[in-house]
Amino acid sequence: MTNLQDSTRKQAMKKIIYTLLFLVCAQSTFAQDDLKRANTYFDRAFYTDAIPLYEELAKTNKSSVVVKNLADSYYNTYQLPNAAKWYSYLTSVYGENLDESYFFKYSQTLKAIGEYEEATEILMDYYSSKNDTGRVKILQQHLKHLENVDAIGDRYSLVNLALNTGDSEFGAMKVDSNVVYAAAKKTNIPLNAKKYRWNNQNYLDMYTHPMNQLALGDSISTDFSSSINTKMHEATFAITKDGQTIYFTRNNYLKGKRGTDGDKISRLKIYRATWEKNKWQNITELPFNGDDFSTEHPALDASESTLYFASDRPGGFGSLDLYSVSISANSEYGEPQNLGKEINTERKEQFPFVDESNNLYFSSNGHAGFGLLDVFVSKSQNGKYQKPDNVGKPLNTGYDDFSFSMNQSAKEGFFASNRPDGKGSDDIYRFLETKPLVIEDCKQYIAGIITDKTTKEIIPFAEVNLVDSEGTIIETQTASEKAEFKFTATCETEYTVVSKKTDYQENSKKVVTDKERSSIKDGSLELITFAEIDKQEAIALGKAKEEEKKLAALAEEERIKEVKRKKQEEIKAKEKAEKEHKERVEKAIEKEPLIERQGKRLVIKAEPKIHFDYDLWYIRLKSKETLDKIAGILKKHPGMELEIGTHTDIRGNDKYNEELSQKRSNSVVEYLVESGIDKKRLTPKGYGETLTIVKCKTEESCTEEQHEINRRCEFVIVDWK
C-alpha cells in the first residue's frame, strides 16, 4: 500500500513539473513572438502599433534593442515625456555602446519638456567624454545664439486656427482669397480612410478654406483637388503667381500605381500639375525624383525660376538637406544643387519657403534651436545664402515648429507646430510679426562722471580710457562739458577705467560687467591735483610727530597685552596638560580589556559578574575572584576612583531594597579596602530596584535567574587622575 502511494505521488509530481516546463517554454515563445512582431512594426515605421508591445516586453526584458526601439517609437510619435524616460534609462545603462544620435534625441526630448540645462549637459558631457572639441565649440556657439535670440523677447502674436482638429494640419499658405493646407483625410466614414500606421491617423490630403472664414471650424474646408488628392499622402505645395502651375509633395504614386524602394517603402516625390479647364491636370513627377530617396516640400523663389526642396538623396550632409534646382522658361529643370554646409547640417533641414526678398525660411533640428524642429531664416548675399538665424519665440518652442509661410509686406503668415497646448497633433497657427529680428551679443554700458576729489566739482574734458584685462586700451574718450562719458562693453567681462588730465594725478577703477543686458555700470572717477597732494603731504608730516607720542602710548599698551598674553599661555598650557592626561587615560583604556565605555559612562567589566543571593549582602566566593581583579586594576592605576553601584530585584519595598543595596555596596567597599585599596577612592552607592536590567511587571513574572541578573554590582570610574 505504501509503495503504491509513493508511486502515485511521483507521477503527480512529474505532471506538475512537465506543466510548469510547458508554461515557461510557452511564455518564452510568446515573448519571442511579441519581440519579433514589435520589431517588424518598428522596422516598417508602425510606431503606434509597436509601442504597447515594447512596453509589455520591457517589464521583463530591458535589452538595448527593446529600450532603443521603445524610446525611438515614442520620439517619432512625439510622446516626448515617455521618450525622455526611456532615453534616460538607455543612456545610463547602455551609454558606452551608443552612438551620438541617441544622446542628441535624449537632449531634444529634454528641451521639449522644459529641461534645458540638463539637455545641454547631456550633449556637453558626451562630446567632452569623446574629446570632440569641435562639437563642444559648436554647442557653445548655439547656446550663445539662443541666449541672444531669447533676449529679444516675443516677436510674434499667434492664433491657433479654428480649422485645427485632433489630427494633423500643417503646410498652410494663402492662395488668392483662400488658405490651402494639408490635413489628415476628412471623411464621414472613418473606416474607409487609409490609416498611416506611423501615427494611426488618416493619410494626408490637401484642403482649401476661405480666408474670411478662418474663425470657423474645418467643416468649412473643402477638398483642394480630386485629381491631386489620392489614397496616399499629399501635402506641402508651391504655386505660381498666375495660379496656373502647382508643385506638391506626394508618396510615390501616379496614375493609380504605387512605387516603392527595395524595402517596399513609398518614398516622397514632388509632382507638377497645371490648371486647365477649371481643374488641375497633367500631373507628372519631376525628373530629379528617385524611388530610393525622398524629395519633398517644394518652394518657389520670387522670380519662380528656382525651385527649392528637401531631400535625403545620397551625397547630402545629413538625413534631410535643402536643395535648389533651376527652372527654364520652357519648364526644363537643371541639376539639383545642395545649398551647402552653411544651410545644411548633419541633422534635418526641411520645409523651405522663400519670401518676396528671396529670404530663405526653413525648419531644422541641426542649427541653434529651442528643441526639435525650429524655424530659421537665411538672407541671400551675392547669390549665396548666409548663416541662418533662429526666428525666435514664441513661434519656436521645444517641439516641432515648421511649414512657415509669410506675406513679407504684411508681416503675417502661417506655420505649424505640435506644441502641447494645441488642439491635437500638428496645428496651424496664424502669426503677425510684431518685432524685428535683431540679434546682438549681450552688451552693457560703463558710464560716469569725472570729479575733483577735493572740491567735488566736475572736471570737463578729461581723458578717459577703457582698458581690457590684459592692459590694452580698447577705446579713448574725452569727457563732455558736463564731465560725462559712456562706453559700450561686453557682458561678463573685466575692464579698467582710467582717467587723467593736466595738473591732476591719474586714477583708475576696475569694473566687471554681468549678464543683465543694456544695464549701466558706474565707472565714475575722482581726480586729485598735484598741488593738493603737496598740501596733504605737509599735513601728513605734522601728523607724524603726533604719531610719535601715540607710539609711546602704544608701547605701554603692548606691555599690558604681553602680560595678558602670558596669562593666556598659562591657561593654554593647563588645557594642554588636561588634554594630555585625557589621552593617557584613553591609551590606558585601550590596554585594559576589562574597561569599556557604556554611553557616557566608563565601567570595569570583570568576569564572573558579581551577583548577590536574595535578601543577602555577603560576597560570594566567585565574586571575590572578580573583586581581586578590580583591586588589581585599582592598584595598577592609583589615580582611578570608582563608584560601587549595587542593585536589587523588585521583591521587597523601595526603602528596604535601597537599604539592602547600600549594604551590598558597603560589603564590596570593605572587601576592596581589605585588599589594600584606599577607601577615599571608593564611593558605595545603593540603587535599590530603580535600575533593573530585566523588567519584571510582577515578582512572579520573572524567573529566579532573571531576578538574580538584577541583583548585580557595577563599577563605574568617576575620576582618573
Residues 387 and 244 in one domain: yes
Question: Residue 23 — pLDDT band, cuts 50, 70, 90?
Answer: very low
**Sign of the four-CA dihedral 43, 47, 50, 56:** positive
> What is the average pLDDT across 531-552?
87
Mean pLDDT of the chain: 90
User: Residue 228: pLDDT band by 50, 70, 90 thresholds?
Assistant: very high
Q: Is residue 439 pLDDT above 60, yes or no?
A: yes
- The per-residue pLDDT for 238 is 97
When pLDDT is averaged across residues 316-327 and rounded to a whole number, the result is 95
pLDDT in tens, 88-140: 999 999 989 999 999 999 999 999 999 999 999 999 999 999 999 999 999 99
**Position 452 confidence tier, pLDDT thresholds 50, 70, 90:** very high
Burial group, residue 695, by CB count within 10 angstroms (0-12, 13-18, 19+): exposed
Domain boundary (391, 406, 433) is at 433
Q: Based on the domain organization, do 270 and 373 belong to the same domain?
A: yes
472 and 382 within one domain: no
Q: Is 373 a domain residue?
A: yes
Question: What's the rounded Cα separation, in Å, for the pair 702 and 276?
Answer: 111
Q: How far apart are CA 665 and CA 625, in angstroms?
A: 17
Write the DSSP assignment of 454-486 as a string of letters. Answer: TT--B-TT-EEEEE-TTS-EEEEEE--TTSEEE
Give the count of alpha carbons within 13 A of 459, CB side only. 26
Q: Are residues 256 and 358 in the same domain?
A: yes
Domain annotation covers residue 274: yes
If one compares 175 and 10, the residue with the highest pLDDT of the two is 175
Q: For residue 303, name the pLDDT band (cuts at 50, 70, 90).
A: very high
pLDDT value of residue 595: 87
Rounded mean pLDDT of 205-233? 94
pLDDT recorded at residue 262:
86
- Domain containing 478 — which CATH number? 2.60.40.10
Same domain, 26 and 86: yes
Assess whether 380 and 470 both reside in one domain.
Answer: no
Does residue 233 register a pLDDT over 90? yes
Per-residue confidence (pLDDT) for residue 14, from 0 to 100 = 60
The answer to whether 506 and 499 are in contact (CB under 8 A) is yes
Q: Would you say 355 and 333 are in contact if contact means Cβ atoms under 8 Å apart? A: no
Provide the edge-to-edge strand list for the sheet that holds 640-646: 595-598, 601-604, 713-720, 640-646, 682-686
Asked if residue 255 and residue 198 are part of one domain, the reply reads yes
**pLDDT at res. 562:** 87
Q: Are residues 164 and 121 in the same domain?
A: no
The per-residue pLDDT for 1 is 44
In three-state form (DSSP H/G/I as H, E/B as E, the rest C), the secondary structure along 337-394 is EECCCCCCCCCEEEEEEECCCCCEEEEECCCCCCCCCEEEEECEECCEECCCEECCCC
Contacts 24+ apart (CB under 8 A), 100-107: 100/126, 102/68, 102/71, 104/347, 105/71, 105/72, 105/75
| 258 is a domain residue | yes
Which of 199-213, 420-434, 650-664 ranks highest by mean pLDDT? 420-434
Residues 453 and 427 in one domain: no
Q: Provide the pLDDT for residue 193.
A: 58
This prediction's pTM: 0.69
User: Do 333 and 189 reside in the same domain of the chain?
Assistant: yes
Average the pLDDT over 364-390 and give the result: 95
What is the percent of the chain with per-residue pLDDT over 90, rounded to a whole number? 65
3-class SS at 440? coil
Residue 420, domain CATH:
2.120.10.30
- Residue 150 inside a domain? The answer is no
Residues 6+ positions from 414 with CB-CB distance below 8 Å: 172, 173, 174, 179, 181, 403, 404, 405, 406, 428, 429, 430, 431
Residue that finishes a domain, picked among 514, 530, 546: 530
Structural domains counted in the chain: 4
| 586-599: pLDDT as tens digits | 787 788 888 888 88
**Residue 661 is placed in which grid cell?**
543595596
Residue pointed to by grid coordinates 588730465: 501
Average pLDDT over residues 21-46: 72
Asked whether residue 324 falls in the same domain as residue 346, the answer is yes
Q: How large is the average pLDDT for residues 548-561?
A: 86
Q: What is the pLDDT, as a whole number, of residue 4?
A: 40
**220 domain residue, yes or no:** yes
Longest dimension (CA), the chain: 134
Residue 18 has pLDDT above 80, yes or no: no
Q: What is the pLDDT of residue 273?
A: 97
* pLDDT(580) > 70: yes
Give pLDDT, residue 194: 63
Classify residue 672: in a domain, yes or no: yes
- Is the pLDDT reported for residue 189 higher than 60? no
Distance CA 373, CA 489 (A): 34
For 588-596, which contacts have Cβ atoms below 8 Å and span 24 or more sequence positions? 588/637, 588/720, 592/633, 594/629, 594/633, 595/633, 595/717
Asked whether the beta carbons of 606 and 626 are under 8 A apart, the reply is yes
Q: Positive or negative CA dihedral for 590, 592, 597, 601? A: negative
More confident residue, 199 or 414: 414
Residue 410 has pLDDT above 50, yes or no: yes
pLDDT in tens, 39-68: 999 988 889 999 999 999 999 999 999 999
Chosen domain end from 380, 406, 433: 433
| Band of residue 197 on the pLDDT scale cut at 50, 70, 90 | low
CATH of the domain at 119: 1.25.40.10
Residue 483, pLDDT score: 94
According to the model, what pLDDT value does residue 17 have?
Answer: 59
Say whether pLDDT at 487 is over 70.
Answer: yes
Q: How many Cβ atoms sit within 10 Å of the Cβ of residue 675?
A: 15
- C-alpha cell of residue 607: 568576569
Residues forming beta bridges with residue 118, ordered by sequence position: none
Q: Are 295 and 313 in contact (CB under 8 A)?
A: yes
530: amino acid identity, one letter: F
Q: Is residue 20 predicted with pLDDT exceeding 60?
A: no
Does the structure show a pLDDT above 50 at 26? no
274 and 421 in a single domain? The answer is: yes
Q: For residue range 127-173, list pLDDT tens digits in order.
A: 999 999 999 999 999 999 999 999 999 999 999 999 999 999 999 99
137: in domain: no
> Residue 518 above 60 pLDDT?
yes
Would residue 391 count as lying in a domain?
A: yes
Backbone angles phi, psi at 315, to 5 degrees: 95, 0
Which domain does 42 fall in, by range?
Answer: 16-131
